[in-house]
Homo-oligomer: A and B are copies of this chain.
Amino acid sequence: MCLYDTMYYFYPEQRNEFLVLASTFLCCMKDYEKFKQLVLQGATLYMPQLSLDCVIFGFHEGQLKVLLLKMRNLQEWALPGGFIYRQEALEVAASRILKERTGLDNIFLQQFHIFSDPTRSDTSKAIHHFSFADLSIDSSHWLAQRFISVGFYALVDFTRVTPQADELTDTCQWYDLENIPPLMMDHRHILDKALETLRIQLNYQPIGMSLMPEQFTMPELQKLYETILGVTLDRRNFQRKILGYHILKRREVRRTGVAHKSPYLYSFDEKQYQQALQDGLHKW
């Protein structure tokens, strides 16, 4: 199963194809060639011993969610990640990797920490997972080195993300923050650090605007703040403070079809929001 695992690792979206080996022989051969190229030419293509991992946050029905890839057989999930081309800036690499692995484009993306514990990469695992058949990988191989990883976090409007059934289903999946499965390597630590950054940057980055849909009610926005901060907030106090920043526009229409009194709908005033963030929401 080593070939399968390895190809799955790099091409999780082809899982179903791999499983139906007979009918996808040609397809697999093409992917195998692609993988072989990575193993053999990665050392000249990519920056050595440097990778990046992306924590992609979404918010839906009162839940903060994270997009994960399944590492089959390992029973472990992983953050979407990859390598940096020899002449590529990290931000460009992060955008490219997100696009390649999730189909998402033009999203809010920030580097937040670099993870460099010398024991974070398990080189023996790498040798096991990347070796197969006619590709022998030993401890001197570029994939079997210590890797330092740059953590990026991304914020997406969950409602605008349409997981592509043919590419993402079964392989790329949202998990509620409260229900994250075991993650490979130090990915849980990377996720926790991203969340900590989100808490701190709530007043300095357009986090609300990036995660909320175009229109939302005040209780929905409060729920986002409560989820990120991990606390319960007083309704009236929250409303007073958030309206005091002058970053919200109240819409003409109200939310209809809900059980209680129709609540007002709000949108972020992008220009005011960016200006407020630049000044710092909490002025001295």
Report how far A84 CA is from B148 CA in the complex, Å: 11
Instruction: List, in ascending order, chain B residues with CB within 8 A of A236's CB.
Output: none
Instruction: List, in ascending order, chain B residues with CB within 8 A of A116's CB.
Output: 84, 89-91
Contact present for B284 and A229 (CB under 8 Å): yes
Contact present for A117 and B89 (CB under 8 Å): yes
A23 to chain B minimum Cβ distance, whole angstroms, is 43
Taken residue by residue from 48 to 67, chain A's Cβ proximity to chain B (1 for < 8 Å, 0 otherwise) reads as: 11100000000000000000
Instruction: List, in ascending order, chain B residues with CB within 8 A of A47's CB.
Output: 49, 146, 148
For A111, give its contact among B90, B114, B118 (CB under 8 Å): B114
A116 to B, closest residue via Cβ = B90
Contact present for A282 and B282 (CB under 8 Å): yes
Report how far A186 CA is from B111 CA in the complex, Å: 18
Report how far A233 CA is from B280 CA in the complex, Å: 14
Contact present for B86 and A114 (CB under 8 Å): no
Instruction: List, in ascending order, chain B residues with CB within 8 A of A48's CB.
Output: 48-49
Q: Does A75 contact B (CB under 8 A)?
A: no
Report how far A113 CA is from B150 CA in the complex, Å: 10
Report how far A204 CA is from B196 CA in the complex, Å: 11
A142 to chain B minimum Cβ distance, whole angstroms, is 10
Taken residue by residue from 137 to 149, chain A's Cβ proximity to chain B (1 for < 8 Å, 0 otherwise) reads as: 0000000001010
Report how far A111 CA is from B48 CA in the complex, Å: 21
A41 to chain B minimum Cβ distance, whole angstroms, is 17
Contact present for B88 and A118 (CB under 8 Å): yes
Contact present for B146 and A50 (CB under 8 Å): no
Contact present for A114 and B117 (CB under 8 Å): no
16 more A-B residue pairs beyond the given contacts A87-B118, A90-B148, A233-B284, with a C-beta to C-beta distance below 8 A: A47-B146, A48-B48, A49-B50, A50-B50, A84-B116, A88-B118, A89-B116, A89-B117, A90-B114, A90-B116, A111-B113, A114-B114, A200-B280, A203-B282, A225-B284, A282-B282
Mark A residues whose CB is within 8 Å of B.
47-50, 84, 86-91, 111, 113-114, 116-118, 146, 148, 150, 199-201, 203-204, 225, 229, 231, 233, 238, 241, 280, 282, 284
Please list the 7 inter-chain residue pairs (A to B) with the smallest Cβ-Cβ separation, ordered nearest first.
A90-B116, A282-B282, A87-B118, A48-B48, A89-B116, A200-B204, A114-B114
A–B Cβ pairs within 8 angstroms, 16 of them: A47-B148, A48-B48, A48-B49, A50-B148, A87-B146, A89-B116, A89-B117, A90-B114, A91-B116, A111-B114, A200-B204, A200-B280, A229-B284, A233-B284, A238-B284, A282-B282
